[in-house]
Structure 1
Amino acid sequence: MQRFLLLFLILLSGIFFSQTKLNLIPYPQKIDFQEGEFTIPKNFILDKNLPKQETEYFKKHIDKKLRFKYGKKDDAVQLIYSPFPPILSHSPSIRIPPKERYTIHISSKRITINSYTEQGYFLALQTLIQLFEQYKDLGKIPAMKIQDEPKFAWRGVHLDVSRHFFTVEEVKQYIDYLVMYKMNTFHWHLTDDQGWRIEIKKYPKLTQVGSKRKESMIGAYVDNTFDGKPYGPYFYTQEQIKEVVKYATDRHITVVPEIEMPGHALAALSAYPELACTKGPFEPATKWGVFDDVFCPKDETFTFLENVLDEVMTLFPSQYIHIGGDECPKTRWKKCAHCQELIRKNNLKDEHGLQSYFIQRIEKYVNSKGRKIIGWDEILEGGLAPNAAVMSWTGVNGGIEAAKTNHFAVMTPGSYCYFDHYQGDPATEPNAFGGFTPLDKVYSYDPIPTELNAEQAKYILGVQANLWTEYILDFKQVEYMIFPRLMALSEVAWGTSDPKNYKEFENRVVEHFKVLDKMNVNYAKSIYNISGKATAANKGVFYELSTSQNPSGIRYTLDGTDPTENSQRYENPIPVSKSLTVKSAYFENEKLKSAISSQSFFVSKTTGKSIVLEEQPSENYSFGGAFTLVDGIIGNQKQLGKTWLGFQGKDVVAIIDFGQKTPFSEVYFNTLDNKGSWIHLAKSAQIFISDDGTDFKMIKEIGKDEIFSLKGKIKLNVGNQNSKYLKIKIENAGIIPAGNPGADSKAWLFVDEIGAN
């Protein structure tokens, strides 16, 4: 009987291991489970030939109960390392060196790691740390062979320290978070309009003047409110920079510094106003946004920037130096005699050509020092510098254009990779920049655009998340914004994400929360909250509710009351046939376990009807597509990426099919005014009707003055109408005028619900 029971337990153990999904993030390329199991010993013997620095990291981050000692390879060694090329069946689509490739072989006696380099060994250790965390309570790890390598060479995360500053220790902690999830690049945004954060010995006023500001903007940009508190001086000394770079290098993280040019330069111009097109005086910006005063492309400016870059390149050994290049208004250049003479003298087409001249001149200098430049996708303006790489943030087009011209690109589109966006309902989240980038959206991203063929795709270096800190006041909020979205991006960057199995990934995330809890990390719990999505079905609107937990725990109300009493259990999508407010929450054992989510619907005669757009919205602001304009949801100014559609430089032309002739006398829509984000009210709007969808008659027109007087909240009396089709044309403001953030660039037009009654 005992022998039978023992055999049963052995079989049960094998079944348990074979059916257990490893709680690994990012998930490896290939895992082969094998017979047997490795018993975790209290005395863990390490091969004395293991790479010491990386092994010490492993010892520090593994279960504190284990006792480590070094032994010979022929002893009963639990962890050994062999620096021979492993065999790996996975063939990544991107040509990258095998330095990050590794295998782990776990048998009943020992754990063997193979890799080409110590970097590969270090990545293997991150996998081992996660395995030990998963199986430490059981005391045994299933035997297996892991064959693994990343798909992308650039797996980056950015941190803006200009808007808000973070200490050396906090930056180190940030780097440790990157290490945990096998990211390999830390993009350090060190200079901007609001602060210069790196000591440059040749130009001491950069930190004496540029590292502080008289106050800071607080609340929403449109509120135009300031805290009245001096900020700074805050900057990193060169010794501190060296300390951070060494800390990162020891963990196989490349630090890429960013020195902004030619725009985002107010902090530098405050210290050295002679580098501008006008005399100034200037001061570091207290508002967020984009400003007209930029570096003037004159010889003394290039001398200054070259001297700055000399010191930067001495501190940072990275192959790439990030030179910004984004959001550079041309207002000052247009009125500057020197700039206009430079355009004429060099046969440049216009100020965009002058931007290209500026970037190319900087690139030649950086190349002469054996380095390369990378910049935001605006460096494409006027022609891309010969050896430059592009960081594509405004969408994917910058990366596509770069790759098609044989330039490397890092994909970081705002709609997927901006971690300063909301990740849940703004009503339950700390104040954020705007937009809506939840965990599942990050996980769904594919960094290789479908427009690229296989050869062109080789120029996609990788993917990066960006964390801008206008609204991030302390490091606890930094943690909140990157977790758990960092986990999703890590699996995207590794090349093993599978959006079809998102729920399985989400389960692994929840398991990793246990580790973050032990580390006292302030991660976002948005995935526990109820997520709602309006969908079209049967010529109407339905509201789908979901949660990362058991969906049977969702309860909701339709009368605006909290779902704590008299609530309904959610079973099917909720039909929206009249104006109502859905409040929902997750309950477990009859106890409220999530924040209460709320969504109001305002039903009109257009709600749920068929709609077609002549021009599609920007990829960054296209959530829900055209249906967003007839889903019954009025736009939330905090959720630009979910409840609004955004169009840059384009008019909105929408045709709504009622399905049959329908009487109405009022048409309404909203446009958004947020000039700090380049969003301007519409210039005009026209309303048309038709019975056949081809021949349209205009019945109402409204101009700029009336739109401004109504502050973009437009309700138009159109008289008694009866038609099958309603067409609305909302005209974009066009080119942003001088004196506004983003001057000379294409304005954004944001539109939400189009209704008729």
Structure 2
Amino acid sequence: MRFFKPVYICILIMAFSCNKETVKKNGIIPQPNFINYQEGTFPITENTTIVVEDSKESNWIAAELKSFLDENFDLNLKISAESQSNAIRIIVNHIETDKEAYQLEVSKTGVSITANAYQGVFYGVETLKQLLTPKTIIKKPVLGFVSIKDSPEFGWRGMMLDVSRHFLEKDSVKKVIDILAMHKMNKLHWHLVDGIGWRIQIDQYPELTKKGAWRKVKAYKKPWEDFETTYKDSEGEVYGGYYTKDDIKEIVAYAAERFIDVIPEIEMPGHSEAALQCYPEFICEDAENTGVYCAGNDGSFEFLQNIIDEVVELFPYEYLHIGGDEVGKEAWLNCRRCQKRMRDENLQNGEELQSYFVKRMEEFVHSKNRKLIGWDEILEGGLPERAAVMSWRGFEGGIEAANAGHDVVMSPASPLYFDYNQGTSEFEPPSWGGYNSLLAVYNFNPIPDDIAADKRHHILGGQANLWTEQVKSLSHIEYMMLPRLSALSEALWTSPEHKNEEEFIKRMDIHFDRLTALDYNFAWSAVSPNYEVTYDKTNNDYVLELTNELGIYDIRYTLDGSTPAMTSEIYSKPIRYSDPIDLHAQTFRNGAPIGFPLKRLFSTSFTENTKVIYTNPYDVSYSGGGDQALFDNRYATPRGDDSNWQGLPQKDFEVIIDIGAPTNLSYIGLNFFQHLASTSVMLPTEVTIAISKDGKDYQTVYNQALETVKDRDPIIKRIEADFEEQNLSFIKITAKNRGQLPEWHTRKGDAWVFIDEVSIK
């Protein structure tokens, strides 16, 4: 291309010279282990050629790169096996070591990506894509000169995807694989079967998918509550799905093209209700279906071995996951056949019987040229010599296994359960509970200090687990994965000496744009506003601090309850107040609101002189923080394990709050909680709020019976009383407890009432 006017030359020079700074802001995730920026730029144009060896793998990688450049920059590049200048060269050395390592060089002659194997080349191309995205920053395919040498810290960088609780269509599984691939993750642990759904075709046992893949949908019940398999065409609402063998082959091949190994999980000996409803002959004698295979029945082993025979034909990777977690042993201990097995094998307890079960299956798995891996419960009673452990109940199981010479994948629930919340807002979508933040994931280290130095090589790496009890769609899966998977990819790829949390946050600012451009439904939880309130005794006022986890972007706020806009005040220093404020805060990025809003009413009339008189005391296990918890400016979130809830069983919640001094009030509000799916906490049946000047004569300002809500998801019910302003000193609040859980509840026993944060103004 020729330019005749000097002004065009100047513009081009300016564009190229500033590109070095642009490249430095490319937001590569995970951070390469060596990167050196240099002066100079290389533009990719229609005359640039992708040069590769003539092989199936190289041609596929080149075609993917060609497609990327076409979609993003309207460039239709040629692919050639002949060396030439002005090229993107993909060079494979075909060496068996360091298969994931790569080098990427950008110089005046073009781009070269060199690796020992196709896998390394693939990762180099993924890095190149990130150098050229997002388009909000890289508007033209101009690369700054750079030298990158990179290889991963850990060989196992994975995520477990549960498709048993909620089925995910084949094309959606591929989209999950795409997300893993762009982050250089290399393992997909596929949880194909569990207690409430069998998702893989097994020819020898057709009922597993004809019936075991489908369940009756029952009103007001979660899938695992009163679970019942059925047939797809049964009457009533039916939920389910499964993968044919052709589906499995297609997905495994799709993952393999992106250098992702797929590890199937076939649960045993527990979590198997669906399979055992189809084949009840493998349940212990005279026992209900507790989801545990009879360990005294040789047919159980034959059944599972026949299944594994078919499974290993579909999954070429060396590992097979057998679950092994949360095995109830009561049926075994009451089963005639299991007791005989224990006598014959000289087993002393249920744990040793479980160990027998696992060891017997390990021998078979080994005979199929596969390695057995299971959750850390398989340590109980003794671990098979060749078995590997996936440690989810913290690090302890992994430490024990590694120190004993077993390979380990670290997958502790904290911080790697991606079905947990990633923010504290009440607006977060349904989750199983718990809280695993973005930076907690980033700072995950798979190798604890308690592992002996000569055993640390047994830590293969780590993985996140995404269970889907509460997750029903691809969009929700994306939300729970992202951006936490971005943090995990760096925790597992980048060596500790090259990790830097502050730099990671800067790169995530750019990666957010990349995720947006790819139309992923990711979470802004890490930048949604949080708060802390303290009382300043010296100045007799309150101090409100606003922040977010990453400490970036503007937080704008109002104190009158109105929705923040770009014209609203930017938070820059602690907010001091001595009168009630109705805070509404929102994070803004590039002029637009992002994340969840923060809405809180903060009172000022409650002081150290305020007293609370309880008719029925709260339970010591759910104190909320003590007598002052009802007005400590810490609002509980919609989780039963939030320590800010104050609760009591069976009896009514009834308190008199002595404010401590006459106060003009016109509003009283408080929150109640309910979560039918996982707690015994229910909303009260009736709430009454009354006010008094002298603590003797009370005027009712709110009285309402609350409708019973059978929704299984967590609920926060806000009770608000607005009344004509009055000068008063006492507030009486009564919430009627239903006493016992209703018949339709999955639990039995006392109902609980949970209360938090009385607000007044």
Query: Shorter-chain-normalised TM-score: which range?
Result: 0.7 to 0.9
Mapped contact 2:265–2:320 kept (Cα < 8 A): yes
2-structure distance, mates of 1:601, 1:229: 49
The amino acid that maps onto 1:176 is D
1-structure distance, mates of 2:390, 2:406: 11
Offset, 1:186 = 0.8
Q: Does 1:170 align with 2:168?
A: no
Count the aligned residue pairs.
629
**Matched residue, 1:311:** 310
Counterpart secondary structure, 1:466: strand
**Matched residue, 1:276:** 283
Mapped contact 2:216–2:227 kept (Cα < 8 A): no
**Matched residue, 1:621:** none
The amino acid that maps onto 2:479 is Y
Counterpart secondary structure, 1:100: coil
2-structure distance, mates of 1:431, 1:479: 13
1-structure distance, mates of 2:364, 2:426: 49
2-structure distance, mates of 1:28, 1:166: 33
**Matched residue, 1:110:** 110
Offset, 1:476 = 1.5
Q: Which moved more, 1:522-531 or 1:254-263?
A: 522-531
Counterpart secondary structure, 2:461: strand
**Matched residue, 2:292:** 294
**Matched residue, 1:347:** 346
- 2:32 is aligned, of 28, 32, 54, to 28
Counterpart secondary structure, 1:553: strand
> What are the residue-to-residue correspondences of 1:209-220 with 2, within 5 Å?
209-215=211-217
Q: Which moved more, 1:361-370 or 1:518-527?
A: 518-527
Counterpart secondary structure, 1:427: coil
Mapped contact 1:528–1:594 kept (Cα < 8 A): yes
Offset, 1:277 = 1.0
The amino acid that maps onto 2:78 is K
Mapped contact 2:69–2:76 kept (Cα < 8 A): no
1-structure distance, mates of 2:267, 2:549: 41
Q: Does 1:79 align with 2:88?
A: yes
Mapped contact 1:216–1:229 kept (Cα < 8 A): no
The amino acid that maps onto 1:436 is Y
**Matched residue, 2:468:** 469
Q: CA deviation digits over 1:19-44, x for unaligned, max 9?
A: 82332111111001223211111233
Q: Aligned-residue CA RMSD in angstroms?
A: 4.4
- 1:254 is aligned, of 250, 253, 261, to 261
Mapped contact 1:534–1:544 kept (Cα < 8 A): no
Counterpart secondary structure, 2:504: helix
- 2:48 is aligned, of 44, 49, 54, to 44
**Matched residue, 2:182:** 180
2-structure distance, mates of 1:565, 1:249: 47
Offset, 1:519 = 2.9
The amino acid that maps onto 1:638 is R
Offset, 1:333 = 1.5
**Matched residue, 2:586:** 585
Q: Does 1:197 align with 2:199?
A: yes
The amino acid that maps onto 1:442 is V
Counterpart secondary structure, 1:436: coil
1-structure distance, mates of 2:278, 2:112: 56
Offset, 1:68 = 1.6
CA distance 1:471–1:102, change in 2 (3 Å): same
TM-score, L = length of structure 1: 0.73
> What are the residue-to-residue correspondences of 1:507-518 with 2, within 5 Å?
507-518=506-517
The amino acid that maps onto 1:36 is G
1-structure distance, mates of 2:108, 2:561: 59
Counterpart secondary structure, 2:128: helix
Q: CA deviation digits over 1:486-518, x for unaligned, max 9?
A: 111111111257898435323333323333333
Mapped contact 2:34–2:150 kept (Cα < 8 A): yes
Q: CA deviation digits over 1:205-260, x for unaligned, max 9?
A: 1111211111167688999999x963334111111111111111122110100001
Offset, 1:320 = 0.5
**Matched residue, 1:123:** 123
2-structure distance, mates of 1:477, 1:435: 17
Offset, 1:436 = 1.5
CA distance 1:392–1:452, change in 2 (3 Å): same
CA distance 1:599–1:399, change in 2 (3 Å): farther
Q: CA deviation digits over 1:409-465, x for unaligned, max 9?
A: 111111211111122244222222211122222212122212224322211111111
**Matched residue, 1:655:** none
> What are the residue-to-residue correspondences of 1:676-687 with 2, within 5 Å?
none
Gaps of 5+ in 2: 229-234, 611-624, 647-670, 683-745, 748-753
Counterpart secondary structure, 1:373: strand
Offset, 1:537 = 11
**Matched residue, 2:701:** none
Offset, 1:577 = 10
> What are the residue-to-residue correspondences of 1:285-434 with 2, within 5 Å?
292-297=290-295, 298-434=297-433
The amino acid that maps onto 2:294 is C
2-structure distance, mates of 1:453, 1:671: 49
CA distance 1:173–1:390, change in 2 (3 Å): same
Mapped contact 1:175–1:248 kept (Cα < 8 A): yes
> What are the residue-to-residue correspondences of 1:127-138 with 2, within 5 Å?
127-134=127-134, 136-138=138-140
Larger radius of gyration: 2
**Matched residue, 1:597:** 598
Mapped contact 1:563–1:585 kept (Cα < 8 A): yes
Counterpart secondary structure, 1:515: helix
Offset, 1:61 = 2.5
1-structure distance, mates of 2:147, 2:580: 57
Counterpart secondary structure, 1:476: helix
Offset, 1:199 = 0.6
**Matched residue, 2:639:** 638
Mapped contact 2:672–2:756 kept (Cα < 8 A): no
CA distance 1:448–1:642, change in 2 (3 Å): farther
- 1:70 is aligned, of 74, 79, 101, to 79
CA distance 1:591–1:374, change in 2 (3 Å): closer
2-structure distance, mates of 1:216, 1:322: 31
1-structure distance, mates of 2:609, 2:280: 55
CA distance 1:630–1:296, change in 2 (3 Å): farther
Gaps of 5+ in 1: 87-95, 283-291, 608-623, 646-669, 682-739, 742-750
2-structure distance, mates of 1:364, 1:578: 71
Q: Which moved more, 1:212-221 or 1:458-467?
A: 212-221
CA distance 1:671–1:259, change in 2 (3 Å): farther
Q: CA deviation digits over 1:586-645, x for unaligned, max 9?
A: 3579975553214578988799xxxxxxxxxxxxxxxx9xxx999863643427478689
CA distance 1:551–1:180, change in 2 (3 Å): closer
1-structure distance, mates of 2:439, 2:221: 27
The amino acid that maps onto 2:181 is V
CA distance 1:47–1:501, change in 2 (3 Å): closer
